[in-house]
């Protein structure tokens, strides 16, 4: 096999002596650089400067706690799945695994419920509580399907977009961390994201017409329980 000879591109004008001496090509590039020095900066000096995302931004997940703003059918879901009625400040999660069933990458979730170890005459005998809820955000696509599938509006997206960590294990968040993230987010921007009288435009609200239509259709045809639910009954 021979070696192909590549000749010079004859269509390119060779540099003149003045261009070689005074680096005119370099000066042309430097001119563009200097011109942009006096323009308005459009970048952000992260992490020293941060950007506040729009209300419907899909950032790091959070688990909402019971705060008195639950849907009307919240108690019905708790009773149906035999979960101990959560008190104020406890997680809304009922371990239905709808989020895992809706997720394109179900390995993200690790959800387990355990039965309460109480005597038979106890009012909570036979009921369960959420034991484990872990999310591996290193595998997440942030599509938001899990938040739409949640019947108790427990799992939500927040405005946190900084996922930097020193190890992959740092992307795995347990229920305590997820609950704290949701509490902090709602304290900061809850009125923007959940208040129907929000100043944000209709198309930016969390529950716009498309979401409401989906929820109404869900009431008439509720989804089945998530995968591997039989091992918790």
DSSP 82-93: TBPPPPTTSB--
Q: Which residues, 6 or more positions from 180, have their beta carbon under 8 angstroms from its beta carbon? A: none
pLDDT on residue 212: 55
pLDDT (tens digit per residue) in 95-115? 999 999 999 999 999 999 999
* pLDDT attached to residue 218: 53
How far lies 212's CA from each of 57, 94, 111, 205, 221, in Å?
18, 22, 27, 11, 14
Give the whole-angstrom CA distance, residue 177 versus residue 87: 19
Question: If we measure between CA atoms, which residue out of 77, 68, 53, 55 comes closest to residue 226?
Answer: 77
Q: What is the mean pLDDT of residues 182-197?
A: 73
**Across 27-36, 120-129, 216-225, least confident range:** 216-225
* Residue 70 pLDDT: 87
18 falls in which pLDDT band (50, 70, 90)?
A: confident
3-state helix, strand, coil in the chain (%, to 5): 35, 10, 50
Rounded to 5 degrees, what are φ and ψ at 157? -95, 145
User: What domains sit in the chain, N to C, each tagged with a CATH number?
Assistant: 61-232 (3.30.70)
Is the C-alpha dihedral spanning 163, 165, 170, 176 positive or negative?
A: negative
Q: Per-residue pLDDT averaged across 204-215, rounded?
A: 50
Average pLDDT in the 70-80 region? 90
State the chain's mean pLDDT as an integer.
80
- Kindly provide the b/e burial profile for residues 23-61, where b requires at least 16 CB atoms within 10 angstroms of the residue's own CB: eeeeeeeeeeeeeeeeeeeeeeeeeeeeeeeebebbbbb
Mean local confidence (pLDDT), 175-202:
73
């Amino acid at each position: 096999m021979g070696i192909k000879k590549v000749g010079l591109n004859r269509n390119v004008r060779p540099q003149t002596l003045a261009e070689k001496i005074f680096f005119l090509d370099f000066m042309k590039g430097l001119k563009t650089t200097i011109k942009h020095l006096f323009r308005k900066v459009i970048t952000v000096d992260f992490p020293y400067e941060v950007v506040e995302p729009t209300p419907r931004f899909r950032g790091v997940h959070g688990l909402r706690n019971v705060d008195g703003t639950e849907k009307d059918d919240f108690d019905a879901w708790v009773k149906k799945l035999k979960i101990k009625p959560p008190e104020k400040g406890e997680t809304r999660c009922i371990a239905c695994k709808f989020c895992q069933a809706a997720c394109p990458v179900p390995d993200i979730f690790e959800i387990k419920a355990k039965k309460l170890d109480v005597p038979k005459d106890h009012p909570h005998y036979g009921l369960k509580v959420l034991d484990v809820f872990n999310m591996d955000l290193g595998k997440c696509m942030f599509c938001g399907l899990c938040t739409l599938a949640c019947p108790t509006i427990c799992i939500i997206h927040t405005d946190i977009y900084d996922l930097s960590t020193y190890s992959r294990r740092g992307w795995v968040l347990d229920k305590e961390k997820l609950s704290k993230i949701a509490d902090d987010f709602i304290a900061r921007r809850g009125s923007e994201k959940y208040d129907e009288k929000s100043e944000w435009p209709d198309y930016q609200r969390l529950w716009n017409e498309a979401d409401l239509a989906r929820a109404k259709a869900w009431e008439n045809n509720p989804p089945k329980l998530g995968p591997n639910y039989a091992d918790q009954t």
